Chains A and B, each alone.
Chain A
Amino acid sequence: MSMSQSESRAAERNRDLSLLVAVSLAVLGAALTWLYFIALSAGAAPRLADLAYERLPGTGVSNPVTAVLLNYRAYDTLMELAVLLAALLGIWSLGPAAPGFQRSGAVLAGMVSWVVPLLIVTGGYLLWVGGYAPGGAFQAGALLGAAGVIVRLAGDPRAGLPGEGAQRWLLVLGVLVFTLVGLGLMAFGAGFLTYPPKFAKWLILLIEMAATVAIGVALAAAYVGGRPPGPEAQPTAEDEDALTAAETPTPDPTPALRPQP
């Protein structure tokens, strides 16, 4: 009796809470709409876009987005890389990763051996094309990370990444190269990350290459979901990923790897 009473009280509290959330969201939405209309009616203020286009020839790249990301506000991009690194440190602190999925069958393995090189080549293309057209380090790194996700889904417990020691170096590569370039420029008398126009293109390309590798490794390692498992890691019956994979019948040429009940 008292059980059902406390349950109904809890349900009532839940309802009150969701009502409160709904009302606050509605107020927030109304306030934002109001601000938007005020901003619209204020008319066009002087935009930064004109200034950005004006200074574009000195930035070393002809894509204005890349110029903003890696020249005008290179410091912010450095901090974004640091945030990504910190997120991965958080994921690694959760403990060792699950060993992973069971090995893929012949058809999936064949497809993976086509798709992964294609993704890596496309990532390199996006990195290069970012200098003068849409593209850049984050998009290229995302493609590398997607390749890692596919490799992990196909049964590699480490998502195709090297051992933990090498992974640590690859992860900090972006922040490291970025900071070293900035400090080196300071040593030559320029400001932190103030590129001289003559070398700007190559310095940006160098930073973007390191950042692409770091972003790709960080995203793939995030999908692994913990500290990298050792090379001997195999799916076990305890592993949730292996169990999920075992629920869907897949042709498996190596019965030894199948999780034991």
Chain B
Amino acid sequence: MSQLTLLIIFDGVLLVTLLALAFAAVLSPEPRRAVMLFIAFGLWLSLVWARLRAPDVALAEAAIGAGLGGALMLAAARRAARTSTRSDGGGDEA
């Protein structure tokens, strides 16, 4: 198999996985899992940027989009989960 076909297959796998991760993150009902899928999506997206020969964007995406954004969203998801259990246990206000 020539190098070009291999690269096309690689790009296809990259794109399909990226879209699958995006859909899984959006459709996940549980915030914590959605955030984890979003972090995986961000890391995968930085691979796509690297493949598009944009190493600057790849670095920023991996560090800020996946890393720090993910850490912030994980903290927010934990806080949201605690708030919702507290209001659920506090009585039948809906």
Contacts and interface: CB of A to CB of B under 8 A. Distances in A.
B63 A146 contact: yes
Interface string A125-155: 0100000001110110011011001000000
Contact of A149 (B56, B59, B68): B68
Contacts of A223: 68, 71-72, 75
B74 to A, nearest CB: 10
B41 to A, nearest CB: 18
A149 B63 contact: no
B33 interface: no
A: interface residue count bin: 10 to 19
B68 A138 contact: no
Given A134-B55, A240-B78, A240-B79, A149 B71 contact: yes
Interface in A55-108: 63, 65
Residues of B contacting A: mostly: helix
B59 A134 contact: yes
Contacts of B51: none
Contacts of B72: 222-223
A247 B25 CA distance: 26
A147 to B, nearest CB: 11
Given A240-B78, A240-B82, A145 B56 contact: no
Contacts of A126: 59
Nearest to A68: B56
Contact of B64 (A65, A138, A225): A138
B31 interface: no
A142 B78 contact: no
Interface of B: 55-56, 58-60, 63-64, 67-68, 71-72, 75, 78-79, 82
Interface of A: 63, 65, 126, 134-136, 138-139, 142-143, 145-146, 149, 219, 222-223, 225, 240, 244
Given A139-B60, A219-B64, 15 more contacts: A126-B59, A134-B56, A134-B59, A135-B59, A142-B63, A142-B64, A142-B68, A146-B68, A149-B68, A219-B68, A223-B68, A223-B71, A223-B75, A225-B75, A240-B82
